[in-house]
Structure 1
Amino acid sequence: MFRRIGRFAVHRPWLTIAAWIIAAVALGMLAPGLKATNDETEFLPSHYESVQASKLQDKAFPHTDQAAATIVFQRSDGGKLDAGDVRDMTKISQGLGAKHYKLVAKVVTAGDKSVSPNHEIGLAQVVATTKNSYEKDLTDSVKKMREDGKELLKGTHLKMGITGTAATNLDSQESSGDTDALVMSATLLLIIVLLLAIFRSPLIAILPVIIIGVVFSVALGLIGTAAAAGGLKADPSITAILIVVLFGVGTDYILFLLFRYREQLRAGQQPKEALVEAVARVGETIASAAGAVIAAFLALLLSTMGMMRTWGPSLAISVGVTLIAALTLVPAVFSLLGTKAFWPSKAWKKQPRNRLANSLGSVVAGRPGVMAVLSAGVLAVLAIGAFGFKSDFNTQSQLPQKLESVQAAKDMQKGFSAGQSDPAMVYLKSKDGSPLSKSTVDAFAAKLSAIDGVDKSHPVTPAMGLHDSVAQYSVVLKYESTDDRAIELAKGPLRHTAHQAAPQGTQAYVGGTSAVLTDIEKAVNHDYKVVFPVAGLAIMIILALLLRSLVAPLYLMIAVALGFGATLGATVWLFQDIKGKDGMLFMLPVIVYLFVVAIGTDYNILMVARLREEVRRGVSAREAIREAVSRSAPTIASAAIILAGSFGVLMISENSMLQQMGFAVAFGILLTAFIMAMLLVPTITSLLGHKAWWPGHQDAPREPAPLSHPGHRHEGRQAVR
């Protein structure tokens, strides 16, 4: 089948290329765009309490103004605020409110009542007309407010900073935007430089970038169409991760094909014949690798997290498009260029020495037992660190400390509780819709106020809903809403007390950021137990179909699990034990799963497929291992360095979350490529011998070992037994 696909693309290149260009242009012009979905509660199923609280708020308090940001005032000389400062604070707030920013209802301060007991800090609330603090118009308004505030501060003794959810979102978006541009630039540079170094051809260095650009356009159009027509949920936040995935798997598949194309040319085949043979030889490998990645991504549909469910199909579509492009568009383009693609290099005409790859192949083949023990030992030792993994849901603490929202939040805590700007929201609802009595409402408020961890300086004052059957309580905690202590408080004492204190005939719901993060923690823990095993089983089935074996997929998945643990363990040791972080990004295991396990499996598949091919030639076990490693090592190393390098750039970011992500993925990909794929997998296969292919006979010779095959040294034609 793959030979037929390759023959069609190679012999009808203009038709193939035209089809891709038409598809990219048509989808780019006609496909609907992706709509933003940034409310955390939209990512959770409706049975979670925080979601129910949010829906109750929308129904009973539809017109309640939302405090989207907090302006923090203090004297520029560090002194205490006096009566004149309070008047200036009020004047500045009124001046900002008079500018009528988009989605900002008002900017209010309560004068002396907004000043902290120690008279060091004063506050003003930026009240929004939207609940979604991610709205671009709102964050743009906060940005303008910061600039306008500088003018209004002139002539006063005050300085100000803006914090709160909208301000934090603004700072996070701007800092990550710079990082996205940096990652994209570094990825493109790495691909171009590395391909130029490998093939010494400017065309081959540039063409993959152009091809992946076309693939990205088609994939994004298909995702937008599926989102509009098929009910698929996706939003613009998927774009950044799509770029990384497409450059990762796209470069892998292009390199798999180009290395084999060059190998066939060196064996004496004509360009078109060599290209068709390359597609025939690695087509099944690429399809299997893509199938494993697609299966892993589709397993995210079982997630209880809406964000994960939106990622799954979108990423699967993008990998599917990349697979089709690798088997059609890439051969078509290189069919037109022929050997001119390698200009000005003549290296494709002669066999390379590849001393390092050949030496590695000889060592792995000569001492498989020793190499298996050493490589497995390294992974096992690193994996021990994974047992110390601790989730950290405080994403704000991982932002660069120089950001205004972070500094203003710290300044606010000099006079107020950390939870002042984002309180927990508790709702008491009558089950039968009857009005709640004042005594019931007040008694419930008193119970909430008595909870250890609630700021006693801010009384829990109830507000009544539209029909007096729902009461809302704003509960200010002593900790920031994203702090681990606030999350534990929402998960334990706050919810327990609210549920227990709800009088007969009523029901209590705890919402707000801390409660949302509590429910996200539950959802993530559930997903780890469901998604990972299902994805592992799907990948095993694909490997079994590729290799026609039940044994090889089993030890391959054990190796993958070991690599996953080693990656996570090394990251824990670096950031928790060496750098002293309290915890790790709670999404880190999912990120390692997506980029290291799913995409990194490509390298294992390439190695085992090449090993099977060498075994089928009828050579000895040692020769098969040596050839598979020496032939595959350059391809795997090049692809891994490109992918790892693009993520490694994240480590220069000031955001601890991005640093963790960058190190984990970069280190995990290199570990998968250089330890697992090049050492552990081939040595285990060698040690198992014929048993590795049970119950099939994939090691049975399919063709005689050609004496003229360049670069081969034959030690017999006995298959591995």
Structure 2
Amino acid sequence: MPWLVLGLWIAVLVVMAPFAAKLADVQQDRAVDYLPASADSTQVAKVQERLPGGEATEMVVVYHREGGLTAADRATAARQIGRIADAHALTAEPRGIPSKDGTTMMYPVASTEPGSNEKARDRLVKEVRSVAKGEDGLGVDVGGEGALGTDAGEVYDSLGGPLLYTTAGVVALLLILIYRSPLLWLVPLGVAGMSEFLAQGVAYGLNQGFGTSVTGQSAGIMTILVFGAGTDYALLLVSRYREELRRIERPYDAMVAALRGCGPAVLASSGTVAAGLLCLLAADLNSSRGMGPLGTVGVLVALAAMMTLLPAVLVLLGRRVFWPLVPRYGSIPKARRSLFAAMGSSAGRRPLTVLAGGAVLLGALALGVLNLPGSLKQEDSFTTRPDAVAAMRTLAAAYPEQGTQPIAVITPADRADATLATIRGTQGVDDAQKGRTGDGWTEISVTAVNAPESAGETATIKALRDRLDGSYVGGPSAEQLDLKDTNSRDRKIVVPIVLVSVLLILIALLRSLVAPLILVVAVVAVWGAALGIGGLVFGPLFGFEGTDPGLGLLSFVFLVALGVDYGIFLMHRMREESLAGAEPDTAALTALRTTGGVIASAGLVLAATFAVLTNMPLVQLVELGFVIAVGVLLDTFLVRTYLVTSAAVALRRKVWWPGPLSRAPEPPVRNEPQPERV
């Protein structure tokens, strides 16, 4: 049987190999790809592609010298721009626009050569940059929407390899420390690697079959979940398998017993995580909606591998895989007083005091949310400063009196003149010019008075949308505004769905109302505290200029789903002990003592895998990874150990209300001896 399972997995991986390799090809990471089809900026982007020259790659070549541009600098700029114009088919002759202080000259450059081909766009941007170079202290940067797309694409393309290797390395190190074996750690790590490969193939199939959006963020999260959740399931199974090997002689029989013992809890917890992630399908944002199925794929593929392939490999390798700490048949492990036994004892003596102290601590940490920086601007979304961002900042400083990033308005062609007049009469508009016309639409390029993504420009975009009935307002700044608004809407829809779904699943699993409510309240408190810690460090310590609009929703979904995951392990064992006849406080403390070590190991692994995201070059990934990692650690070492256990001890049988376990067992009927009849 183990050989058959291994053979089936090898066959599946061979079949899926061509599809797994194609996942990167369908990844879309433009801001407009994240937005719903109904957003104004999405409509603008679609119409622009159909207009003559609509697939143009737009750039801005920026020349700058702190002390002021010299005549030689201007000559160098003109010569280089001339070479660019000679080498490429531009949509218009580039004209330099000097800044009022004389320090900067910008040349808008656009070409339709690449069309919609991103690789051709990247080649064009690189060729322009190879020509536009500074000399003798003259600074030159190439920015604009096309250049920013190239820089962002390079960042997202670089995520796959480093993220995978770093995650695997972190998991390997932790497994070596946990297992203290030179061989055992290789087995779950190898199985996790195969799971990741299969998950990529399945994700590609979802994209092709159902149009599921794939972004660099969702693909990265899927990798994290495969390794993090998969390793957690492996830790639980291997721990139970080691225990069974001491009392069962044949490894195959020991594995069957281990699967029967921990399988239901693992299946229930993974199902809860999958259900929580699938609630993201209710989101309007493409990136969030696509992350739900991809995250679910990661969890379920990891579950399938750890419940089938991992047992098969472990059985084939036999007891020797645990060397040098081999669990001998009939042996008894050394009795040691664990850390969690000591923690459980303190919680058991003063449960109400522990509960109050924990609630105050979590509440105080949650106040840090008030210190979270405002919405993240596009130019601040990189941990390093690519050329396109450097160009944007130079332009913002040199041209403070005007916007340097156009707002695009798409209006019906027969109303173009009236729309143009309305735009020019709108407060906050510096200039507006008609551009391309085709397919019944006309594009109008609008220059705002205020800098890109400032409060003033945002007010201008909203005013244009209010005044222009039947027209669409888009462009880079409008896309960021739509991202923020859509995320706000999604939070109001998805958060209640997640809470209700998880609560109903827990009620069905635990056959109680009180225990599920305790778990849900606990994970929500953890989420608030983790976000609060983020507010205390993002600006002051990390130097981030803003918070990703999707941070609140995504961190909530992951922390609730994953936190309840660990709660199920603890409560499942607590329920087992209660069914076996243990008193409520004894059941709670026994559950903590027996599962605390495994849950702690699993929590460390999961937190470490999400912490890998903090090493990525995108601020939104760093923020998400930090909040989830901190939340998992809080949940593992504070909420699970102290608060949930203390609540169970304090409530005693009421924790299982209204189920049968909430009622005290009836005293046994005593049969009194009857007097003999004469």
TM-score (norm 1): 0.84
Match of 1:271 in 2: 251
Residue 506 (structure 2) aligns with: 543
For residues 127-166 of structure 1, what are the structure 2 equivalents within 5 Å?
127-129=110-112, 135-150=118-133, 158-166=138-146
| Residue 422 of structure 1: how far off its partner (Å) | 2.6
Q: Give the distance between the partners of 2:117 and 2:512, measured in 1 at CA.
A: 50
Question: Which among 343, 353, 356 is matched to residue 336 of structure 2?
Answer: 353
Superposition RMSD on alpha carbons, in Å? Answer: 3.1
Mean alpha-carbon deviation: is it higher for 211-220 or for 640-649? 640-649
Structure 1 residue aligned with 2:437: 465
Shift of 1:389: 4.8
Whether 1:679 aligns to 2:642 is yes
Cα distance in 2 between the residues matched to 1:132 and 1:235: 21
Greater mean deviation of Cα atoms: 133-142 or 326-335: 133-142
Letter in 1 for 2:445: S
- Indicate whether 1:495 and 2:483 are aligned: no
Asked whether the 8 Å contact 2:534–2:626 carries over to 1, the reply is yes
- The 3 A distance-change label for structure 1 pair 276 and 311 is same
In the TM superposition, 1:18-417 aligns within 5 A as 18-29=7-18, 33-34=22-23, 35-59=26-50, 61-64=51-54, 66-75=56-65, 78-82=67-71, 84-100=72-88, 105-106=89-90, 110-111=94-95, 113-129=96-112, 135-150=118-133, 158-175=138-155, 181-234=161-214, 238-267=218-247, 270-346=250-326, 349=331, 350-351=333-334, 353-386=336-369, 389=372, 391-400=374-383, 402-417=385-400
Report deviation, 1:667. Answer: 0.7
Q: What is the CA–CA distance in structure 2 between the aligned matches of 1:662 and 1:233, rounded to whole Å?
A: 21
In structure 2, the CA distance between the partners of 1:590 and 1:181, relative to structure 1 (3 Å rule), is farther
Counterparts in 2 of 1:664 and 1:442: CA distance versus 1, 3 Å: closer
Contact residue 242 and residue 327 of structure 2 kept, 8 A = no
Shift of 1:92: 0.8
Partner amino acid, structure 2, of 1:461: Q
Alpha-carbon separation, structure 1, partners of 2:117 and 2:584: 59
Do the aligned partners of 2:104 and 2:398 also contact (CA within 8 Å) in 1? yes
Deviation track 1:236-260 (CA, whole Å, cap 9, x = no partner) reads 6532221111111111111111112
Distance 1:180 1:618, change over 3 A: same
Match of 2:672 in 1: none
Deviation at 1:16, TM superposition (A): 0.8
What is the deviation of 1:98? Answer: 4.3
Map 1:419-498; keep pairs closer than 5 Å: 421-429=404-412, 435-436=414-415, 440=418, 443-448=421-426, 451-452=427-428, 454=429, 456=430, 459-463=431-435, 465-466=437-438, 470-483=441-454, 485-491=456-462, 493-496=463-466, 498=467
Structure 1 pair 701/167, CA: closer, same or farther in 2 (3 Å)? farther
Q: Secondary structure at the match of 1:87?
A: helix
Contact 2:584 2:652 (C-alpha < 8 Å) held by counterparts: yes
Letter in 2 for 1:69: M
Contact preservation (8 Å) 1:392, 1:585: yes
Taking the aligned partners of 1:652 and 1:221, their CA distance within structure 2 comes to: 26
CA distance 1:185–1:43, shift in 2 (3 Å): closer
Residue by residue over 1:525-554, the C-alpha shift from the partner in whole angstroms, topping out at 9 and shown as x without a partner, is 111111111112111222122212222112
Contact preservation (8 Å) 1:96, 1:107: no
- Structure 1 residue 282 displacement after superposition: 1.2
1:203-248 alpha-carbon deviations (Å, 9 max, x no partner): 2211112101111122221222232234434356532221111111
> Structure 1: how far apart are the matches of 2:56 and 2:454?
21
Is the contact between residue 143 and residue 388 of structure 2 (CA under 8 Å) also seen in structure 1? yes
For the residue of structure 2 that corresponds to 1:160, the secondary structure is strand
SS of equivalent to 1:584: coil
Matches for 1:545-624 after TM superposition, within 5 Å: 545-576=508-539, 583-624=546-587
Contiguous gaps of at least 5 residues in structure 1 = 1-11, 703-721
Judged with a 3 Å threshold, the aligned counterparts in structure 2 of structure 1 residues 519 and 653 are, in CA distance, closer, same or farther, namely closer
Letter paired with 2:344: G
What's the % identity of the aligned pairs?
A: 28
1:295-347: CA deviation from partner (whole Å, max 9, x where unpaired):
11111111111111211112212222222222211211111122111012246
Q: In the alignment, residue 67 of structure 2 is paired with which amino acid?
A: G
1:460 partner letter = A
**What is the one-letter code of the residue matched to 1:512?**
G
Moved more, 407-416 or 665-674: 407-416
Secondary structure in structure 1 of the residue aligned to 2:411: strand
Deviation readout 1:263-299 (Å, 9 max, x if unpaired): 3334566533332222111111111111111111111
Change (3 A) 1:563 1:547: same
Distance 1:232 1:654 in 2: 25
Q: CA deviation at 1:568?
A: 1.3
- 1:511 and 1:98, CA in 2 relative to 1: closer, same or farther beyond 3 A? same
Structure 2 unaligned blocks of 5 or more: 666-678
CA contact (8 A) 2:20 2:197 kept: no
Name the SS for the 1:585 alignment partner: coil
Distance in 1, matches of 2:492 and 2:255, equals 44
Alpha-carbon shift at residue 571 of structure 1 (Å):
1.2
In 2 relative to 1, CA 482–205 (structure 1 residues): closer, same or farther, beyond 3 Å?
farther
Aligned to 2:669: none
Equivalences, count: 660
d(CA) in 1 for partners of 2:288 and 2:302?
21
Tell me, in whole angstroms, the C-alpha distance in 1 between the residues paired with 2:295 and 2:616. 25
Deviation string, structure 1 residues 176-219 (Cα, Å, up to 9, x no partner): 66666554444323322222222211222111121011111222
Aligned to 1:668, the other structure's residue is in SS state helix
**1:579–1:240 distance in 2 versus 1, CA, 3 Å:** closer
Matched letter for residue 269 of structure 2: A
In 1: Cα distance, 2:181 partner to 2:586 partner? 32
Cα distance in 2 for partners of 1:179, 1:57 equals: 30
Q: Secondary structure at the match of 2:577?
A: helix
1:636 aligns with 2:611: no
Which residue of the partner structure matches residue 629 of structure 2?
666
- The one-letter amino acid paired with 2:285 is M
SS in 2 for 1:203: coil
Structure 2 CA distance for partners of 1:237 and 1:649, relative to 1, 3 Å: closer
Distance in 1, matches of 2:555 and 2:612, equals 16
Q: Cα gap change, 1:549/1:614 in structure 2, threshold over 3 Å: closer, same or farther?
A: same
Q: 1:87 to 1:681 in 2, by over 3 A?
A: same
179-188 vs 582-591, which deviates more? 179-188
CA contact (8 A) 1:139 1:170 kept: yes
Distance 1:419 1:139 in 2: 28
**In 1, distance between residues paired with 2:572 and 2:484?**
39
Distance 1:264 1:364 in 2: 30
CA contact 1:604–1:676 (8 Å) conserved in 2:
no
TM-score (norm 2): 0.89
CA shift for structure 1 position 110: 3.8
1:691 equivalent in structure 2: 654
Partner of 2:475: 512
Find the residue that maps to 2:185 and give its secondary structure. Answer: helix
